[in-house]
Amino acid sequence: MSGVDSSYAWWRLLASVTLSTVGGIGMWCLVVALPTIQQDFGVSRADISFAYTLNTLGFFVGGVAMGRLVDTRGIVFTAILSTLGLTAGFALAPLSPTLMMFAVVQILIGFSSAATFAPLVADVSHWFEKRRGIAVAIAASGNYIAGTIWPPVIQRIIEDHGWRTTYWTIAAICLVAMIPLALTLRRKPPHQHEGAAAASAPA
């Protein structure tokens, strides 16, 4: 069975939460790496905080833009675009010669990370009726799970290998983990199947 409240819906929810947890690293990585990056660039706390501000701004704008993209192109296309954006952002950030360049890249990271929050929550809501409330709550928890899991992992990698290697490692994680997860969401929501069936039915 592949419809509303089915076993597939719960598996899809699990994939969405996992995707959100991985993608949520875009919001949490800079929080942990901030002191090390500040020291590396030799700038003030206020200056490095500007990069975090741009990351947050990117997340806000991305939430709106990615939501609209889901409506027109679907969740899979949007999630893959998010993956490519996060991969590019985390790969380019360590190559930044100046703080300003680093800060600009944070817009891309924040923007791309946004697709793994609200759009995924909205997608999950299409697959549940009786337990929609709990399903949406679970889907929304991915970003907070990311905030629990990633900070200690990121801190450890930074201590052992530096922030640049950490960012490149995250780029690889996003690319390898997120695209397969996104592809598990290829099945269209039940209401779209019903709409297509109604449109093809004889008058």
The pLDDT tens digits for 42-95 are 999 999 999 999 999 999 999 999 989 998 999 999 999 999 999 999 999 999
Q: How confident is the model at residue 198 (pLDDT cuts 50, 70, 90)?
A: very low
Mean pLDDT across 168-175 = 98
Domains and CATH numbers, the chain: 7-186 (1.20.1250.20)
Residues 185-195 have a mean pLDDT of 72
When pLDDT is cut at 50, 70 and 90, the band that residue 196 belongs to is: very low
- Which tens digits make up the pLDDT trace of 92-138? 999 999 999 999 999 999 999 999 998 999 999 999 999 999 999 99
Is the pLDDT reported for residue 33 higher than 90? yes
Average pLDDT over residues 171-190: 94
The pLDDT confidence band at residue 201, using thresholds 50, 70 and 90, is very low
Mean of all residue pLDDT scores within the chain: 91
Q: How far is residue 32's CA from residue 185's CA, in Å, rounded to a whole number?
A: 31
**pLDDT (average), residues 180-188:** 94
Q: Which long-range contacts (CB under 8 A, 24 or more apart) does 54-58 make?
A: 54/103, 54/104, 54/106, 54/107, 54/110, 55/26, 55/27, 55/30, 55/106, 55/107, 55/109, 55/110, 56/110, 57/107, 57/110, 58/106, 58/107, 58/108, 58/109, 58/110, 58/111, 58/112, 58/113, 58/114
Model confidence, pTM = 0.88
